[in-house]
Chains A and B, each alone.
Chain A
Amino acid sequence: MNSLFAWLDHRTGYKKFLHEALYENVPGGSRWRYVWGSTLTFTLAVQFITGIFLWMAYSPSSQTAWESVYYIQHEMAGGWLLRGIHHFTAQAMNVLLVLHLMQVLIDGAYKAPREVNYWFGFFLLLLVLALSLTGYLLPWDQKGYWATKVATNIMAITPLIGSQLQRLIIGGPNYGHHTLTRFFALHAGVLPALIVVLVIAHIYLFRRHGLTAREPKRRPDCAFWPDQVLKDAVACLAVLAAVLFLILKPRLFGHEPGAELGAPADASEPYSAARPEWYFLFLFQFLKYFPGGTEVWGAIVIPTLILGVLFFIPFLGQWKLGHRFNLGFMFALFAGVGLLTWLALAADRREPEYQVAVESAERDAERIKQLAKAEGIPLSGAASLLRADPFTQGPRLFARNCASCHRYGGQDGLGKVPTETLVVKSGETLTQIAQAKGVDEKDLIVLNHLSDGRVAAGQVLKIQPHPAASDLKGFASREWLSGLIDPAHIDGPNYFGYSKFKEGKMVKFVKKDVANYSVEQKEKLKKVIAALSGEAQLKSQRAADEHTAPLLTEGKALLASDEMRCTECHSFYKKDEDATAPDLTGYGSREWLVGFITNPAHERYYGKRNDRMQKFGADKILDAQAIGLLADWLRGDWYEPEKISATR
């Protein structure tokens, strides 16, 4: 064995190399403050290892990037751990870079003859930040997509070459396949190669000049191995432990472990929760202070100047007070970055719109996971699954198109109560406004934080107007219909209370006739309601409808009979030319509802009596797919994953 090593040494000289590597002198003995460079080397190695394994499963294109990352994260054995390590080690690197830079500046390790090595470090810092930026886009989820879009748009305001630069980086005028291939080539090829070269140079020069010892030396010199290596290894272990903790942390809150993966990027889907990763938040916040036309100062000029100062630190240090200036600059810079980061986080915490956006983003992220698991992902990509999902699109379509008149459980489908604003005219009192708008004065006071209940002319008031049409949550269900044919509710806010049907025949019929029904008639009415609701074939009532099939048949016969008087105005399976109210054949079914939304003024529905509802299909306000999604959502018809029985 020994002779083999000797043979090898004779040809490579590895023993001398190893000896030099391991027995580097550490003046004044090993210290904890020297560990930062080693932890960075360690994290870099971790990123190379995990990055190459991720590479084996990643596919950079608009229809496969998110999909392959989904596959790594949720389908491949150990994928969540691998991606988690890569993701959180990247974050740890940014922290360690700052610590390393601080140690170098505090110990004056940038001074002669180590200037060049300081610059190597300076460029390594920039390269690692570039890795973070490029890596953030690669999963092609909503968050990375919109945040990176902001970053590349900022790039475009660079004077003279901005738009060309942007086009080159994103591979064309728009985000797409070539944005991903280019970012991936940068992230996994160009940047790592540059980093390897610079790290080798960095370590070579570090060894050449030796360690910058902290004075006064407390102990005699020692060798790198094993004293300093042990401290370095402990520090690396601490970094790894922190990374593993961050990966497992979601478990503590009952979520899946690992790095986050949002919903797939979709240029047609707004994303108000777009924020850069936390270590770039300070820049994000900084830009808020530059009004239109001056962004170039906040985005390009000032950051470049700051980087310029950082670059020239070795020269600045030569002045008498230079070292103190450098330290002061560094602490001021980090304090500023810290303050801006805190301001950004605080602003988001205060902003309810942002909270709603984050919730909606989490809902989409969870939903796409369910859909991808259940149906697999079509070649058109995962975003198309979400686009065709009533559970995802229904509430959005409702909020945009229906919620100005209708409500869904009292809100707009997305959890918000529609609000309008109005300007107070001179001499108007709150009571008058409340009366004019038909709302409760107390609600106005609460909504506008008016402690004394007084308003001034010109003041802008928020007002939650009454719904002009029915509340559609549970539409066509037995419960919903029971409320409709209830004398106490039919002219209330959830049904016809604020529509022109308040004065119509149906309301009169319910308020006069139904209100005086005998017990026997009420029983019959229940059967009619069950039968009418059965027409809708709602998913939520499938079991109930099957259980009570004879009752439904009976109810159907009653509905068609003269006794219940429904067919005086409505058609039911028998075309009635004189019908003045919506046809009840297939009432609430998908086909019925799609037709209704398409054209409520069709003679099958309200005809000429249609209140303000728009002809969403006939007037091409919504396309057939959107109307179908809306109908499916209102009918509660969407894919639901089988519930895994709760673990005891």
Chain B
Amino acid sequence: MNLMNQTESTAPPPTPTRRGFLKEASAAVLGAIVGIVPLISGLIVFLDPLRRKAQASEFLSVASLNALPEDGSPRKFSVVASRTDAWNRSPQTPIGAVYLRRAGGKVQALNVVCPHAGCFVDYNAEVKGYHCPCHDSTFALSGDISSPSSPAPRGLDELEVELRNDSEVWVKFQNFQAGQAKKTPA
């Protein structure tokens, strides 16, 4: 048998002819088509998240006014709402948290998320300010940046508040993009 010869034999040198070029071109085109169809079908699905929008923000009942300390220090409350997560629709699930405090006859609401990189900021009662445990951003009681060395580009995100039926605190809960000086809804 000439099996061994076959493995040793060198390929015939390709001769450039019109027929040969046609073959090469069609082989390349067909090869590209069969490869691209599954790839594209996958990419369409991969890009699906770009079609999805964040849930519209709405006013949610967060706390009772009576629950807020009279001295104006803030208190943390969970924000509970119905939530859609891909295929799941869950009624009344925690979707975030806010600090609420009395401020001159009004109620101020701050999103607990640090506008620097999105960590959960702590309230420090001793210094009456907020501190981010990740990169040491510090914020005043009002939510403003309290020190020039703070890495956060803006103060804590204030949320719209409404008082309903005298004592219910409703907050328009929203998250904003971190890392920017401007407050843009996420």
Q: Which residues of A contact B (CB under 8 A)?
A: 19, 23-25, 27, 42, 45-46, 49-50, 52-54, 56-57, 64, 67-68, 70-72, 75-79, 81-82, 85, 89, 113, 208-211, 213, 221-223, 225-227, 229-230, 233-234, 236-237, 239-240, 244, 372, 375-379
The reply to whether B87 and A210 contact each other, CB–CB distance below 8 Å, is no
The reply to whether B87 and A67 contact each other, CB–CB distance below 8 Å, is yes
26 A-B residue pairs with Cβ-Cβ distance under 8 Å, sorted by A, are A23-B11, A49-B39, A50-B41, A54-B45, A57-B45, A70-B87, A72-B45, A77-B45, A77-B51, A78-B41, A79-B48, A82-B44, A209-B3, A210-B7, A213-B6, A223-B11, A226-B28, A230-B23, A233-B31, A234-B30, A239-B34, A376-B84, A376-B89, A377-B87, A378-B88, A378-B90
Candidates A49, A52, A71, A209; contact of B7 at CB < 8 Å: A209
What A residues does B37 contact at CB under 8 A?
85, 240, 244
What A residues does B10 contact at CB under 8 A?
25
Known contacts A68-B87, A76-B48, A77-B51; is-contact A230 B30 (Cβ 8 Å): yes
B133 at interface, CB cutoff 8 A: no
The reply to whether A82 and B34 contact each other, CB–CB distance below 8 Å, is no
**Extra inter-chain contacts (19) besides given A45-B38, A67-B88, A223-B14, CB under 8 Å:** A24-B11, A25-B6, A25-B9, A25-B11, A42-B34, A54-B45, A75-B86, A77-B45, A77-B47, A78-B45, A81-B41, A209-B7, A223-B11, A225-B14, A233-B26, A233-B30, A233-B34, A236-B31, A376-B84
Q: Which residues of B contact A (CB under 8 A)?
A: 3, 6-7, 9-12, 14, 20, 23-24, 26-28, 30-31, 33-35, 37-39, 41-48, 51, 84, 86-90
Among A19, A25, A56, find the residue whose CB has the most chain B CB atoms closer than 10 A. Answer: A25
Known contacts A76-B48, A82-B44; is-contact A230 B27 (Cβ 8 Å): yes
What A residues does B6 contact at CB under 8 A?
25, 27, 210-211, 213
What A residues does B34 contact at CB under 8 A?
42, 233, 236-237, 239-240
Known contacts A25-B11, A77-B48; is-contact A378 B87 (Cβ 8 Å): no
Known contacts A23-B14, A76-B48; is-contact A49 B27 (Cβ 8 Å): no
What A residues does B27 contact at CB under 8 A?
225-226, 229-230, 233
The reply to whether A377 and B35 contact each other, CB–CB distance below 8 Å, is no
What B residues does A19 contact at CB under 8 A?
11
List 10 tightest A-B contacts by C-beta distance, closest first.
Answer: A376-B89, A53-B42, A78-B44, A23-B11, A233-B30, A230-B27, A210-B6, A71-B87, A226-B24, A226-B23
Known contacts A230-B26, A240-B37, A376-B89; is-contact A222 B45 (Cβ 8 Å): no
How far, in Å, is B28 (CB) from chain A's closest CB?
8
How far, in Å, is A124 (CB) from chain B's closest CB?
20
Candidates A23, A68, A76, A221; contact of B45 at CB < 8 Å: A76
How distant is the Cα of A13 from the Cα of B53 in the complex, in angstroms?
49
What A residues does B41 contact at CB under 8 A?
50, 53, 78, 81-82, 85
How distant is the Cα of A57 from the Cα of B84 in the complex, in angstroms?
16
What B residues does A70 contact at CB under 8 A?
87
How distant is the Cα of A480 from the Cα of B99 in the complex, in angstroms?
61
Known contacts A53-B45, A85-B38, A237-B33; is-contact A379 B26 (Cβ 8 Å): no
The reply to whether A49 and B42 contact each other, CB–CB distance below 8 Å, is yes
Chain A, Cβ-Cβ closest to B11: A23
The reply to whether A221 and B47 contact each other, CB–CB distance below 8 Å, is no
How distant is the Cα of A242 from the Cα of B42 in the complex, in angstroms?
19
How distant is the Cα of A186 from the Cα of B23 in the complex, in angstroms?
41
How distant is the Cα of A45 from the Cα of B38 in the complex, in angstroms?
9
How distant is the Cα of A379 from the Cα of B84 in the complex, in angstroms?
11
How distant is the Cα of A25 from the Cα of B9 in the complex, in angstroms?
8
The reply to whether A75 and B23 contact each other, CB–CB distance below 8 Å, is no
Chain B, Cβ-Cβ closest to A207: B7
What A residues does B33 contact at CB under 8 A?
237, 240
The reply to whether A379 and B90 contact each other, CB–CB distance below 8 Å, is yes
What A residues does B30 contact at CB under 8 A?
230, 233-234, 236-237
Candidates A71, A77, A209; contact of B86 at CB < 8 Å: A71
What B residues does A82 contact at CB under 8 A?
41-42, 44-45
What B residues does A79 contact at CB under 8 A?
45, 48
Chain A, Cβ-Cβ closest to B14: A223
How distant is the Cα of A71 from the Cα of B11 in the complex, in angstroms?
51
How distant is the Cα of A19 from the Cα of B37 in the complex, in angstroms?
27
How distant is the Cα of A376 from the Cα of B42 in the complex, in angstroms?
25
What A residues does B3 contact at CB under 8 A?
113, 209-210
What A residues does B89 contact at CB under 8 A?
375-378
Chain A, Cβ-Cβ closest to B24: A226
The reply to whether A46 and B38 contact each other, CB–CB distance below 8 Å, is yes
